[in-house]
Amino acid sequence: MADAQQQLSGHRKGTPALILPERPRLIVLEGIDLSGRTTQVQLLYDWLAAQRYQVTTTAWRTSPLIADVLARARNQPPLKPLTYSLLYAADQVDRTQRVIRPALQRGEIVLADRYIYTAFARDAARGIDSSWLHNLYRHSVQPDVVFYLHISPEEAVQRRLALQQQRFEARHKKEGQGGKQGKKAKDKKGSKKDAKDSGQQKGLSMTALTAPQPLLLAGDALESFRNFEMRMYSEYQHMQKAFDFTVIEGNQPIDHVQATLRRAIMRLLLEM
């Protein structure tokens, strides 16, 4: 997913593309963490570009002026919620001026991996007043459609655990490959001693000793993540009707979600 997000940085060049000078489109994908937004945006980008539409993409926290500041802030002692709100707003304003408005003025389709509704959900979950947030983003471009990829907070927790497990196993495999090369240089005497030290002579196999173990988030971290996702989920539920979201169940297979998105977008593009 990280690779996909790195590609969400601009429009595809090369083959002459179709533009929509009269009705450019701003298409937004929203959802709580790990709902699959970035994957779906990348697939939509590839599909629309293949249809010869000129497409620009933009993602949350990718302003060249603000991204590094936000990254450093996330690795430091936590900032106050209000400070985060202002930094996120600065990111949105800069991307609107640099990416979104210029692309729409050129008649392009803009795909947004998260938009102002992410700020409404995340910041409200941190205790920021919703009316203040709405006023802060009042000059943002109105999207043509907002697709809300709906998954439950518990599904987000399970996806995070699965992702952590995948990363752990990949790291373990890499370390194991390095260990095999080192073992070849040992003589039989050393190997016997290592086996004794490892407990192999007590009836424990090396496979059992080195097999990846399930990786779980620490209890406090897991509960914190779950609680925050629940608060965000509640905010998104409130916004569904207020902002006329198009709700798509995000727990379906990726290709099913993509097919639903494509049908809805084609209807949108055919509207006069």
CA torsion, points 225, 228, 229, 231, in degrees to nearest 10?
160
pLDDT digits (tens, 9 = 90+) for 66-114: 999 888 887 788 889 999 999 999 999 999 999 999 999 999 999 999 9
Average pLDDT rounded to a whole number, residues 185-191: 50
Continuous segment of H or E residues that includes residue 135: helix 130-136
DSSP 188-202: HHHHHHHHHHHTGGG
The predicted structure's pLDDT at residue 197: 37
Residue owning tokens 């055919």:
270
DSSP 147-173: EEEE--HHHHHHHHHHHHHHHHHHHHH
Residue owning tokens 């008649």:
107
pLDDT at 235 over 90: yes
How far apart CA 65 and CA 55 sit, in angstroms, is: 23
Class (C level, CATH) for 2-153+220-270? alpha beta
pTM of this structure: 0.76
DSSP helix/strand/coil, 33:
coil
86 or 13: which carries more pLDDT confidence? 86
pLDDT digits (tens, 9 = 90+) for 250-259: 999 999 999 9
Nearest partner of 85 among 151, 130, 32, judged by Cα: 130
Q: Among 14-23, 132-141, 216-225, which is the least confidently predicted range?
A: 14-23
HSE of 35, CA atoms in CB hemisphere, 13 A: 25
pLDDT at 205 over 80: no
The whole-chain average pLDDT of the chain stands at 82
pLDDT digits (tens, 9 = 90+) for 25-62: 999 999 999 999 999 999 999 999 999 999 999 999 99
Strand partners, 233: none
pLDDT at 194 over 60: no
The predicted structure's pLDDT at residue 53: 95
